[in-house]
Amino acid sequence: MKTNRNHRLHMGQIAPFWLALALGVGCSTGCGRSPTPHDASTGPLAESPAEPSPAPVEGLHEVKCGCALSDVGQCGEFVEVAGEFLPLDLPNDDLGPMPFCGESDLQAQVRGEIREGRFLATSFELEPAKSDADK
């Protein structure tokens, strides 16, 4: 009976494979291990934390037209929240076009939340402008 030399494997060819398999060289992710709490919180299967709910904002806040803000420079409605002017999205647009443009010292009672860098108002009431005698 003839033996085909191409199909014959020598022990010298198989030994490195078994040695690598036994040492776990082919498994860099810890195959067969139970994840520790550290692995579970930082590994690729870790759940991402839920995005926190935005905190509600309410009270009397300064409002300005964007053209009066050096960071903006063009007309638009903005409200000051925690020292920062944010674009204002109103629940209804009954203020008319550019209600703050050319005005100064405007304030409004607002209620809403900050989302994606914008203030989403659920309630908005512009305060009467102060006269020079009130200042």
pLDDT digit string (tens) for 78-125?
999 999 999 999 887 777 788 899 999 999 999 999 999 999 999 999
Any domain includes 76:
yes
pLDDT digit string (tens) for 47-62?
545 556 678 899 999 9
Those residues whose C-beta lies under 8 Å from the C-beta of residue 106, and which sit 6 or more positions away, are 62, 63, 64, 100, 126, 127, 129
Cα separation, 2 vs 23, whole angstroms: 37
Structure tokens at 17: 């494979």
Any domain includes 48:
no
Domains identified in the chain, total number:
1
Any domain includes 18:
no
CB 76 within 8 A of CB 87: yes
Any domain includes 37:
no
Specify the pLDDT at position 97: 82
CB 101 within 8 A of CB 114: no
Any domain includes 25:
no
User: What average pLDDT score do residues 18-36 get?
Assistant: 48
Specify the pLDDT at position 131: 61
